[in-house]
Amino acid sequence: MSDGLHPAVVSAQPSQRDEKNPDAPLFEGEYQDRLEKILSRYPFKRAALLPVLNMAQQVRGWISPDTIKRVAEILELSPAYVRSVASFYTMFQLRPAGKYLIQVCTGIGCDLCGAEDVVEGLLKATGTRIGETSADGKYTVVEVECLAGCGFPTMVQINDRMYENVKAEDVEGLLKELD
Amino acid sequence: MNDEKKLLNVTIDGVELEVPAGTTILAAAERVGAVIPRYCYHPGLSAPAVCRMCLVEVEGAPKPLASCVQPVQDDMVVHTNTAQARKARRAAVEFLLMNHPLDCPICDAAGQCELQDYAFETGQLKTRYVEPKLVMGRDKVTPEIVYFADRCILCTRCVRFMDEIAKDPVLVVINRGQRGYIDTMTGELFENPFSINIVDVCPVGALVNEDFLFKARAWDLDQTASICPGCSQGCNVSLGTKEERIVRAKPRFNPEVNSYWMCDHGRKTVINWGAGARIEVPMARDGDELKPVDWPQALDALSEAIGNEPGRARAIVSAGASNESLFTLRRLMEELGSDGGVFRVPTGPEAELPGFPKLKLRRDRVPNAKGAELLGFQRSDAVFDSAQGHRGALFVLEDTLEGAPDGFGTNAELFVYIGTRLNPAARSADIVLPSTTFAEMAGTFTNFEGRVQRFEQALRGPGLARPWWLTGSALLERLGAGGRYRTAAEVFAALASEVSEYEGLNYEVLGLKGAGAPGSSAAATAG
């Protein structure tokens, strides 16, 4: 195994790459090894669906219909079933997102502490609407339920990085920091 | 393995009964007449217990149990209708109705909707939900089936039908919670020869057949037990009729033939069977013309023509005619001296339902080929050959004569056409008698394996059209060749006493589920 990762963590390796190629080859080279490691952890192939989808998203940035078919083929499932599972979890992007996927928690805790203003500020600053990608292809803002940081509202996650205690007035600085 | 035979004691709503181990509470309750509300449970499918509608109170259990999956245990005491159970169901219905559009006045399922029934039963006439409702719209899932996402309660019966019975897992739930909906992989339409069954299993109005959409209200339909004439399988169906038209056909449960299912081809065949211009009055030849006459005149003309000894009789029959009609024609031909009869069988590709392999859309796309065979008619690919040069009496029973050669029947001394539609070839007949379709008469078909099944009359025949067995037996009486039969049951009794394969069968034995072969000597599973 080229990267020496333990099977239990290979699929959870955060991908810090901002630029992703939606047509990148899936499960080749290094990722072929990772796939085999993932499969080795489970008694049957279907059980590996979530980590395999996770890895596919890391490689390509989103779960395209083509990716779904490929994953279904590898795990011997029906493509419809793979789409069903992928759509159940909001962490899987079923549409291409911008270079920066900005997830804002609007769960009860963050909401009470002004999450709506943060969302509004972000939408204004990026010139998009919820779930849409800005014209320059850079930003996608979405609302999520909980980012497991309720002690630090409002929680914002941009790609794989978490930002705590975000206020509406922090939005501009936040976006600048990205570029 | 002994466990399977073990009987368990259970008390349901105060009634004690014994059920075999492995029976679910829901199934046991049905035996004492307690119908527990359910959405996701369907007797022909697996039960995922997702709808939480069938919760019942079990003494000793800390919380209500889902009766559709909970097997009965010995000495269990179940209450299906206590305050606790009702409260649980009420909550389930309230959640289901949260985003439901309540568009019953324009919904196809109104009147046959389980959501409507249970919402009424739990008595929630007003909603407590004040937020705006989520609107999702509609989409087609097959070329014929429309999916109304707003009405869907995500019971997944359709998903499981495609998965377990059709073994074509194209439907899934997309997203989750209130944003969930049913779709295919790509969002494109799918096709399957058994797809319309997903409309039948849908407990609400989410999946509707476009063929029936906005055609009729469920409560306006008359239901008649019948048999699908689409192929030689003989699926048991229930005809929904309104104003003397068949508007839909739904499968009728029969574990020996079609379970809860039927194919799409059959549904279309049923609806189109009697469509088009019909022969409504008897006609007799007067010189070059066919003149309308009444029944006594027609029978006079026919018995006179037969009295003139036209010669031996040949026939082309339809394998869509009932056993009773075929038998009556056989008797008449025997009077004249029978030269035999033939029938043709249109065929099409076979399609199997993998989850219930007994059910196939059969190659032979006629309902009664076996019956015609047992009554002595020959299957033939060239039905017109034997009849073409025939100089005696020629009978055509319900064959459409499509594809008949020019001058068909003109050589015959007597050409009698009995049928529903007057195709050009039938116009050279000496006597034309209007007959009825399977939906317009009672009778029996014999399916591919020899099972005899009854169908009931759902419609009135057009004009003066009568079943051929009725007019035929009146004619036989005039000729002094047998008693007059007034019901199809009487004809069948006579048939059963003459044809060995039908020995011991009668309408009572047949019931509404049929009987006879396989393994026969009238292997009866009377319904």
Whether the CB of B50 is below 8 Å from some CB of chain A: the reply is no
Partner-chain residue, chosen from A65, A69, A83, that has the shortest CB–CB distance to B174? A83
* Whether complex ipTM tops 0.90: no
Whole-angstrom Cα distance, residue B400 to residue A91? 62
Q: CB–CB of B475/B299 below 8 Å?
A: yes
The pLDDT score that the predictor gives to residue B493 is: 94
Asked if residue B340 belongs to a domain, the reply is yes
The pLDDT score that the predictor gives to residue A177 is: 84
Asked if residue B122 belongs to a domain, the reply is no
A·B CB contacts under 8 A: 33
Partner-chain residue, chosen from B170, B175, B186, that has the shortest CB–CB distance to A65? B186
The pLDDT score that the predictor gives to residue B525 is: 46
> pLDDT class for B526, splitting at 50, 70, 90?
very low
Low-confidence ranges of chain A (pLDDT < 70): 1-20
The pLDDT score that the predictor gives to residue B242 is: 92
Whole-angstrom Cα distance, residue B432 to residue B280? 10
Listed in order, strand segments (DSSP E) in chain A are 100-105, 139-144, 156-158, 161-163
Q: Chain A: nearest CA to B179, how far in angstroms?
A: 10
Q: Is B214 exposed, middle or buried (0-12, 13-18, 19+ CB in 10 A)?
A: exposed
Task: Report which secondary-structure segment, H or E, holds A118.
Answer: helix A115-126
User: Which of these three, B207, B241, B272, is where a domain ends?
Assistant: B272
* Mean pLDDT of the B320-333 span: 95
Q: CB–CB of B506/B448 below 8 Å?
A: no
Judgement on whether residues B50 and B178 belong to the same structural domain of the protein: no
Judgement on whether residues B77 and B166 belong to the same structural domain of the protein: no
Task: Please choose, from the candidates B415, B370, B368, the residue with its C-alpha nearest in 3D space to the C-alpha of residue B396.
Answer: B415
Please report, for chain A, how many H helices and E strands are present, in that order: 7, 4
Chain B neighbors of A84, CB-CB under 8 A: 172-174
The pLDDT score that the predictor gives to residue A61 is: 82
- The CATH code of the domain that includes B215 is 3.30.70.20
Percent of chain B with pLDDT over 90: 76
Domain ranges of chain A: 1-94, 100-178
The pLDDT score that the predictor gives to residue B470 is: 94
CB contact under 8 A, A65 and B185: yes
Chain B neighbors of A82, CB-CB under 8 A: 185
The pLDDT score that the predictor gives to residue A57 is: 87
The pLDDT score that the predictor gives to residue B484 is: 81
Partner-chain residue, chosen from A65, A78, A88, that has the shortest CB–CB distance to B176? A88
Question: C-alpha dihedral over B120, B41, B34, B9, to 10 degrees?
Answer: -150
Whole-angstrom Cα distance, residue B432 to residue B417? 5
The pLDDT score that the predictor gives to residue B527 is: 40
Quote the domain boundaries for residue B136: 105-112+129-272
Asked if residue B278 belongs to a domain, the reply is no
The pLDDT score that the predictor gives to residue B519 is: 64
For residue B3, is pLDDT > 80?
no
Scan residues 167-186 of B and list those with Cβ closer than 8 Å to A. 169-176, 183-186
- Domain tally for chain B? 3
A113 assigned to a ligand binding site: no
Chain B neighbors of A83, CB-CB under 8 A: 172, 174, 183, 185
* Mean pLDDT of the B231-241 span: 95
Most confident of B69-83, B384-398, B478-492: B69-83
Whole-angstrom Cα distance, residue B148 to residue B139? 7
Q: CB–CB of B396/B417 below 8 Å?
A: yes
* Mean pLDDT of the B73-78 span: 94
Q: CB–CB of B324/B495 below 8 Å?
A: yes
Listed in order, strand segments (DSSP E) in B288-337 are 289-292, 313-318
The pLDDT score that the predictor gives to residue B389 is: 78
Judgement on whether residues B377 and B402 belong to the same structural domain of the protein: yes
- The CATH code of the domain that includes B508 is 3.40.50.740
The pLDDT score that the predictor gives to residue A2 is: 40
For residue B246, is pLDDT > 70?
yes
**Residue B515 Cα to chain centre, angstroms:** 16
Asked if residue B121 belongs to a domain, the reply is no
CB contact under 8 A, B185 and A87: no
Q: What angle do CA A27, A28, A33 make, to 5 degrees?
A: 75
Asked if residue B47 belongs to a domain, the reply is yes
The pLDDT score that the predictor gives to residue B518 is: 67
- The CATH code of the domain that includes B41 is 3.10.20.740
Among B183, B185, B190, the strongest candidate for a mutation testing the A interface, having the largest count of A CBs within 10 A, is B185
Asked if residue B19 belongs to a domain, the reply is yes
The pLDDT score that the predictor gives to residue B189 is: 93
Structure tokens at B158: 């359709």
Helix (H, G, I), strand (E, B) or coil at A94: coil
Listed in order, strand segments (DSSP E) in A23-113 are 100-105
Listed in order, strand segments (DSSP E) in B423-471 are 431-434, 443-446, 452-455
Better-predicted residue by pLDDT, B333 or B3: B333
Judgement on whether residues B398 and B467 belong to the same structural domain of the protein: yes
Judgement on whether residues B137 and B245 belong to the same structural domain of the protein: yes
The pLDDT score that the predictor gives to residue B411 is: 87
Of A141-145, B112-116, B515-519, which gets the smallest average pLDDT?
B515-519
Judgement on whether residues B410 and B472 belong to the same structural domain of the protein: yes
Q: Chain A: nearest CA to B280, how far in angstroms?
A: 52
Task: Please choose, from the candidates B437, B490, B463, the residue with its C-alpha nearest in 3D space to the C-alpha of residue B298.
Answer: B463
Judgement on whether residues B358 and B209 belong to the same structural domain of the protein: no
For residue B1, is pLDDT > 70?
no
* Mean pLDDT of the B228-242 span: 95
Chain B neighbors of A80, CB-CB under 8 A: 169-172, 183-185
CB contact under 8 A, B172 and A88: no
Judgement on whether residues B432 and B411 belong to the same structural domain of the protein: yes
Q: Chain A: nearest CA to B185, how far in angstroms?
A: 4
The pLDDT score that the predictor gives to residue B435 is: 95
Architecture of the domain made up of A100-178? 3-Layer(aba) Sandwich (3.40)
- CA distances (Å), origin B527, targets B236, B253, B485, B507: 12, 11, 25, 11
Judgement on whether residues B452 and B519 belong to the same structural domain of the protein: yes
* Mean pLDDT of the B24-51 span: 93
Architecture of the domain made up of A1-94? Orthogonal Bundle (1.10)
Whole-angstrom Cα distance, residue B522 to residue B504? 6
Judgement on whether residues B448 and B392 belong to the same structural domain of the protein: yes
Partner-chain residue, chosen from B175, B176, B184, that has the shortest CB–CB distance to A80? B184
Asked if residue B53 belongs to a domain, the reply is yes
User: What is the CB-side half-sphere exposure of residue A170 using CA atoms within 13 A?
Assistant: 16
The pLDDT score that the predictor gives to residue B524 is: 47
CB contact under 8 A, B174 and A78: no
* Mean pLDDT of the B199-226 span: 93
> pTM of the entire structure?
0.89
User: Which of these three, B272, B291, B321, is where a domain ends?
Assistant: B272
For residue B277, is pLDDT > 70?
yes
Among A87, A91, A144, the strongest candidate for a mutation testing the B interface, having the largest count of B CBs within 10 A, is A87
Judgement on whether residues B357 and B497 belong to the same structural domain of the protein: yes
Given this chain, do its domains A1-94 and A100-178 carry the same CATH topology? no
Judgement on whether residues B146 and B244 belong to the same structural domain of the protein: yes
Among chain A, residues having any CB pair with chain B shorter than 8 Å are 65, 68-69, 78-84, 87-88
A146 assigned to a ligand binding site: yes
CB contact under 8 A, A84 and B173: yes
Asked if residue B187 belongs to a domain, the reply is yes
Backbone angle region of B287, left / alpha / beta, with phi > 0 → left and psi within -120 to 50 → alpha: left
Chain B neighbors of A65, CB-CB under 8 A: 185-186
CB contact under 8 A, A83 and B173: no
For residue B521, is pLDDT > 80?
no
Whether the CB of B199 is below 8 Å from some CB of chain A: the reply is no
Q: Chain A: nearest CA to B180, how far in angstroms?
A: 8
Structure tokens at B352: 């199997």
Give the nearest chain A residue to B183 (CA atoms): A80
CB contact under 8 A, B171 and A80: yes
> A116-148: string of b/e by CB count within 10 Å (b at 16+)?
bebbebbbebbebeeebbbeeebbbbbbbeebe
Structure tokens at B217: 């209200």
The amino acid sitting at B74 is: D
The pLDDT score that the predictor gives to residue A15 is: 47
